[in-house]
Structure 1
């Protein structure tokens, strides 16, 4: 299936009525020309007319939007769009360049490039595109990259030469067939032009993104072809996350397709202590394509479907209603959508165009084989990843990158019951797995229950869940008796053997802070929130979340340790903290918390001998982080 060209923005300075008159006149000319030439539907030849993208509104800047339950509404249908010359464009092999209408030109791959009539195309301030380019340069997508992920980034393999492992009749490279199947038009629009400039001048960025996507791109392409969906959508994870499987946005969107929690659950992606389906490339790809198919059925336009994937269907529906009410066009380019969404679709259009024309731009993309870089192995019992890596003659980092949905040290007891392993190691792995008894696939510890212990405390001690402990010991309730013993499934290796598990990724992030600041660790009390703790230490909530590999809306639990990076003192040892007094605080309790004398607190804040402090008051405290860490330890 090919992308529609949709509508191009109208020339600057024309009124709506003048634009419509010009459009009708132009369509009439092309339709008459098509009739004379006896060509196919005008929809495949006429460039579009009109002017406006990953996620839950603007807050989840680049994640799939929350599923929308908006009632049915009158939307442009496909037949009407074809009648107006705005339908689907044929594949490159079906295009006859010499018969293209005026205003269109074939590119190197034989794909028509739509050009809007007239100069001065602008729908929004021209600075938006450049601003979005700058944001892409700094962020490589919507969500930040954790230090743990950076440290284990796979090396890039350039040169699009033959790949090992392909059979005699199999294609050896992913790129040739993929390029020939790309069908997305390059619309003559300032944001598209800006992103084309960005991509063609940032080859290293593209190489990093495609190297991360190397194992998965052939799989995603095959899934799109099964559904007869445009193969250009295989590039969407580059726009969403730069193919970073552990990407986590400020809007709580996760994975290469950037699903928010609610949308992920709506499309069947489980999220629990052991597993996050939003990061599982196989499960999330299936969910993303389901979502995009549903949106395309609703709007009869892939550009509007992409906009709804980014901003949410509710926002797109509202923008369409407003334009219908005012008699304006309802194509993507004409809608008043969030700023982020205005750059989202142009990014994908530009990326598709640049990938199609890498030879023209002198860009050399990483070598990617035509077959997926993994094999799926079915499991009948939980498996420790360190043990799995040994059986696959691989390492746990590789397994985590192929299975980024795994949060802990092993596969989830309640599924999915599969593991992706390197394609060339799969056969040996299956043989060794068959020789290993199910009970030997994790390590079992015999724990004696002490007086006062609870199941949740015991589960936390062994980095597992209450449900797993109950299942392993056939417990019907949470009641346990001191002196009894429990069998606990645990990891076979030390924590450092699982560098990309959720706890290790967070620990690595907490160790890496901004220059000129000193880290202190803060223990969360019952009822605390990120915003409240950020206010106590006079730091931004978004920064506090970033320092702890979290999103601002994430919930906390009592006893959790958070890294807070406070300004370093002039002597390099003391750091200044602005503390916000909470209900129940006393000067003595605050002094104990920060390991400073009470009289110093009074001096630093010009307080009387027996001061009264109230919730919301701000206190200045100078702390020595090293001594504070020892005190709290």
Structure 2
């Protein structure tokens, strides 16, 4: 397993982009669109290579990015006193945050968001990744089921993306940026995150109707929402000056706690933990999205492991000569006694019920249940073809398939790595080229289909993203007026287009204006070309907003993320500048 340090990864991706451009120039067929989830992870590492700064203390990074305005000072003071009166609770929560906060901070800084946002899980979930609310919200960021699906978080029998540390963080920050774009104020965006954008929009309209300029303090909010931002500000204030509150912060090393690996195989959670040399409890703290005792692999999904254990995991996996997966799915054709089924598979009834997180002695017909593998199994007890098949509505809807660990092993790929060290800085082009080849192999596309049958749990957003389309195009092509789509419906997809070679045009001046005023320099252009002649393309101009990233702009306009080069007027900069004007051609 090769470690991808940020610098080495940056080099390999730079070569990847360069090779795509050369392919376009030489009229060669371009690479297929890449798996977007993994592409986002690789983009994250490309950006993060410039973020490991501010000495070796994450708390210093957090403090330097505070931006939120003070609201409801009396309420903030009350929340400060509440936290200060429970220092043990506050410290336990901060200790839990150390597993996740380095990654969250990198994402927040990369997007140019206030760093208070990175502390929001302290208010939402106390940094407990398995937290669930009484109304059904789940995970570090407490997504409700519908909002999670809207932002691409899968929710199946096996897996709940709302509890996925990396994917839920991506979705939460996407959602908050969308809310900021809608309301133009971070405190109001946070209020909408807590209360819902529809509720807040109506409350703002009522305030505006009275002739007032709506603010967090004068919009009529429910008690929970009125206290929501003050809680976050109280956390912010304590972290900024802990000594004022009789607290002391231990040093927080400015390096990743975890790395992400792609195993290429399903495996038992307990076996994965054993291979890494960690407890099952620690494995679940980093991989809390799996509902059952199986790590269900799929393209683009990664296993998180402590950074210090990744090498041990690789070495032990290479020597492992036993089955990695010892479970299969049984689909009862009729109501079945749990104890009898457990006995058939060499289990106790309590083991079967605990593994499936269910209670009761009878299993309903068509209710999938995880059982120990049995070579003499019945026809309706088969290994899954897809560990992420949505929970079937009927037995006929369940897709079954071949034994998981009969699949060929994919190379392990580190997608989030530790700080760049001296060896990484001296990375040779040959090594980068090899890593590029490996990255291309992993980033295989699933798009290009002409049609798609909607599965349970799909949303227009998730279908459009997988198909490299915008939601508006998908709705227009299928005459959809609303945002809901019925399971089983066949949707037409945009015909596959030749991969575009996207290049940055010379803007004339290295520093583009931050405002929307006139400029002597032409705006930066995203030029879309390919080896075949094309009709004149439609184009649009976009002004970069605070918090925009290459990834978010690419997704918004349906441009393939993996082929977008830097859009900044300064080609060496890793960030877009607010107010920068870009023209997107070839839509």
Give TM-score scaled by structure 2 length: 0.49
| Larger Cα-atom Rg | 1
Larger RCO: 1 or 2 (CA < 8 Å, sep 6+): 2
